[in-house]
A and B are shown apart, each in its own frame.
Chain A
């Protein structure tokens, strides 16, 4: 899939995803070792984007399983199309039961869900299991079989093994501690907030209209805010939002008024805004 780590960074950059060395290395290894990639990190640093970018680079189909509380086998793996099966039964009235039975448990009546879809496909596939921490613990057990052997067992049809291993990305916001067993099967990647230099490049890429000096100030202020131990530290998404806001407002330098008026774009809690205002010597809001 990739020839080297630099190849990964370069090709991801072409799709508009600027990867840090850690991200590029881990993606390269995940492709080379054929292991799933578990990505953790705060919201808005581009975990889901990474999977999309990899899919685009590899010209692969992106299959996405969005996890939520209560997601189960029939939503993640496969389901029998009961309505269609009933129709089939009532259509063939004078058949023997054996004929009907072998027929209604065939491919035609199977509804593949994301996990099965990703495994059965012949074309290159990126399987994104998003927000794994939202799913219940039972769901993890299901993932274990799929992720370690890349196979799924459907009792009526037998075991389906992947002919071509999908590139698997699991994301988690660490809302719940994932089990050690699941972590063991994956390469672990923590995407934190980017280095200043990288963030400047991201802002320049996403908001090209913003001036050089202003971009630099924006990134510096956001960096200082992150060091403040706030309830919700601003993420890359917020930096970009802020840059867009400043561009829309037509500001050409950061000054006290501008920062005070737009602080709500980057900080989402009143406590945080007050704390930041105090630390940045802004006058009372």
Chain B
């Protein structure tokens, strides 16, 4: 049983390394679950461990990848002699047409074994999912599988037939995931599980760096907006409740104590003005930072009922108000970025971002949007493309607003390198590093006015 215990603690360690909070009590529960379930059925074991170790649905994808490393399907490569590419493609087409998951998994193992190996000397060799998929090209099987399925069902005229393409694409995507998992397993055998679990497993969406997130991860992030907004709303409400309790108003306490002979029997609390704060967002939506800006805009939109007024401005080198676009954007968050870039006037003369001009334009045209109750958030990497950062405009906005915060998606040690004017801006307003959704959530919970 010690070997199993070691596996479980290893698994827990790897999950903790990815930011999942697991206590010793849960680890013990996991071990008891293994005892109750036995090791015969791998899928039961997976569900049992997930039930005892995880606390939320967001961590499941991460858990599955790590689980595959610590409780692998098998050891080593498949026993049969490797198939050549064409035979493998034929059999894969059959498996996809029949939607046979077990066969697909077996073919994934064979594909990695036959096509994924690279390098020859120990230490530099390994198994590559990318190389396997590049040689096998499962996506080109679509037409063949479609014809196959239609031929089998006979007619092919039913209504559900129009869903076929998407379904087959889903199956191919599933096969790609299987290949990736298989390649990770083979590499883990060579290099050690802990190492691969730490580096080779995709982190949960809220820990992905905004600047390096790919399209899938951005979509996943957008899906995380609503739960994150709910969490923040709960936290803001708690902060508001605490704040409403208020502090003791010394002057009025003393005053009311006169009626009890100068003994302060009843403390008088400072009254809170029941105003909801206003929020202004200035977002750089150019190229690399756009993923970060889109996400933050959606998040603020989801939180809008916490504020009396939210106004959102987008800029590249010209600035325009996009509050209206955002309101309509709730039905279709994926298209938000494209719509903003299409409908708002964001560029003039050239297409690269210019903070100086954009901030100047904001101070000039929309200066009225900023008042003593307004908190301003600037989102961007402060890379001015060598032009004037226009510190005067920032100073002006900071003077009018209640607070100005700058959220920068670049790591702190890169601020000030190249054309970054971050240190100059940071001297005027509070600048925070904000690289992942998790960091953003923590910052917003702390910085948002209540």
Contact = CB atoms under 8 A, between A and B. Distances in A.
Task: Say if A and B assemble together.
Answer: yes
Interface of A: 5, 21-22, 25-26, 28-29, 32-33, 35, 40, 137, 174-177, 180, 183-184, 187-190, 192, 213, 216-217, 220-221, 223-224, 227, 229, 231, 253-256, 259, 271, 275, 280-281
Q: Find the residue from A187, A189, A220, A281 having the highest chain B CB count within 10 A.
A: A187
B272 interface: no
B159 A256 contact: yes
Contacts of A224: 163, 166-167
Contacts of B159: 217, 221, 253-256, 259
Q: Find the residue from A22, A213, A221 having the highest chain B CB count within 10 A.
A: A22
A25 B238 contact: no
Contact of A217 (B43, B158, B170, B234): B158
Contacts of B55: 180, 183-184, 188
Interface size class of B (residues with CB under 8 A): 35 or more
Contact of B26 (A25, A184, A189, A281): A184
A188 B54 CA distance: 7
B221 to A, nearest CB: 13
A128 B252 CA distance: 50
B230 A177 contact: yes
Interface stretch (B29-37, B134-142, B374-382, B422-430): B29-37
A283 to B, nearest CB: 13
B267 interface: no
Interface string B319-360: 000000000000110100000000000000000000000000
A213 B57 CA distance: 33
Contacts of B47: 21-22, 25-26
Contact of B56 (A5, A29, A188, A256): A188
Contacts of B73: none
Contacts of B158: 213, 217, 253-254
B52 A187 contact: yes
A175 B237 CA distance: 14
B8 to A, nearest CB: 15
A175 B43 contact: no
Q: Find the residue from B160, B162, B332, B334 having the highest chain A CB count within 10 A.
A: B160
Contact of A32 (B36, B57, B163, B227): B36
B276 interface: no
B160 A176 contact: no
B78 to A, nearest CB: 26
Contacts of A5: 37, 41, 44
A33 B57 contact: no
Nearest to B41: A5
A253 to B, nearest CB: 6
A33 B33 contact: yes
A177 B229 CA distance: 10
Nearest to B330: A231
A227 B36 CA distance: 36
A193 to B, nearest CB: 12
Contacts of B32: 32-33
B60 interface: yes
Interface string B196-236: 00000000000000000000000000010001001100100
By Cβ-Cβ distance, the 5 closest A-B pairs, closest first, are: A254-B159, A25-B47, A183-B55, A217-B160, A177-B231
A29 B163 contact: no
Contacts of B332: 275
A183 B50 CA distance: 13
Given A29-B33, A32-B32, 5 more contacts: A22-B47, A32-B36, A33-B36, A183-B55, A188-B51
B355 to A, nearest CB: 34
A35 B26 CA distance: 11
A268 B99 CA distance: 31
B57 A40 contact: yes
Contacts of B167: 220, 223-224
B365 interface: no
B230 A175 contact: yes
Nearest to B222: A229
B163 A221 contact: yes
Contacts of A29: 33, 36-37, 48, 51-52
6 contacts: A174-B230, A180-B55, A187-B29, A188-B56, A221-B160, A271-B331
Contacts of B334: 229
A218 to B, nearest CB: 9
Contact of A26 (B21, B26, B51, B57): B51
B151 interface: no
Nearest to A40: B57
A67 B227 CA distance: 20
A184 B37 contact: no
B418 interface: no
Contacts of A40: 56-57
Given A220-B167, A229-B334, A176 B51 contact: no
B274 interface: no
A256 B162 CA distance: 11
A280 B162 contact: yes
B123 interface: no
Contacts of B23: 184
Interface string B295-319: 0000000000000000000000000
Nearest to A27: B51
A223 B163 CA distance: 9
A183 B56 contact: yes
B368 interface: no
Interface string B135-167: 000000000000000000000001110110011
A177 B441 CA distance: 14
